[in-house]
Amino acid sequence: MAKLESQPLSAEERAELEELRAEKARREAQEEARREREELAALRAERAKAEEAAANVVPAPKPAAAKPAPTAPKPQPKKVARSKPVEPKPSRDEMTFAQRMVTSKEPTGENEIPGMAPAQKIIIVLALIAFVIFMGYTILTSMGLH
C-alpha cells in the first residue's frame, strides 16, 4: 500500500479523479440551489402571510370633526422605528430535541405564567439531589460515622 501512495497518478487516474471532483461539485451546486429555492419559497410564504395579516388589520376611519389636527408631529417610539419581522415559532413537533428542552410551553390563558422549561426542571432536581447528598455527607462526617 505504501508503494501505491508514493507513486504519482497515471493520466487515466487523474482524469477519473477530475471527473469525480466535477461530479461532486455539480451535486453540491444542485443541493445549494435546491436549499436556496426552499428558503425563497418559505420567505415568500412568510411575506404573503404578513401582507395578509396587515391587510386584515385595517384601522377604522375616524371622523375628522371629532379630532382636531395636531400642531406638531409626535415622535415615534423606538419600537416602531426599528421593527423586526416576527418569525413564527415552529410547533413543538417541528422543534429539535434541544429546542424542546430549553423552551417552555406557551401560556394558554391571558394572565397565565409560562411553565418552566424541561432542562430547567432537570437542573433544579440535580441541584437538590447534590444538596441532599452533601448534607448527608456533612452530617455523617461531623458525627464521626464516616
Query: For the chain, which residues make up each domain, given as ranges?
Result: 11-56, 115-146
* Cβ atoms of residues 102 and 119 within 8 Å: yes
Distance from chain centroid for Cα 35: 17
117 Cβ partners below 8 Å, 6+ apart? 101, 102, 103, 104
CA distance 55 to 8: 68
Q: How many helices (H) and strands (E) does the chain have?
A: 5, 0
Provide the pLDDT confidence category of residue 91 given band limits of 50, 70 and 90.
Answer: confident
Q: Does the pTM of the predicted model rise above 0.85?
A: no
Q: Which residue has the higher pLDDT, 92 or 53?
A: 53
pLDDT for 1: 47
CA distance 101 to 48: 31
* One-letter amino acid of 72: A
What rounded mean pLDDT belongs to the chain? 80
CA distance 29 to 32: 5
Q: Which residue has the higher pLDDT, 23 or 109?
A: 23
Identify the DSSP state of 67: S
pLDDT for 64: 52
Identify the DSSP state of 65: T
Worst-scoring range by mean pLDDT, 18-22, 42-46, 69-73, 118-122?
69-73
* One-letter amino acid of 146: H
Closest CA to 44 of 36, 33, 34: 36
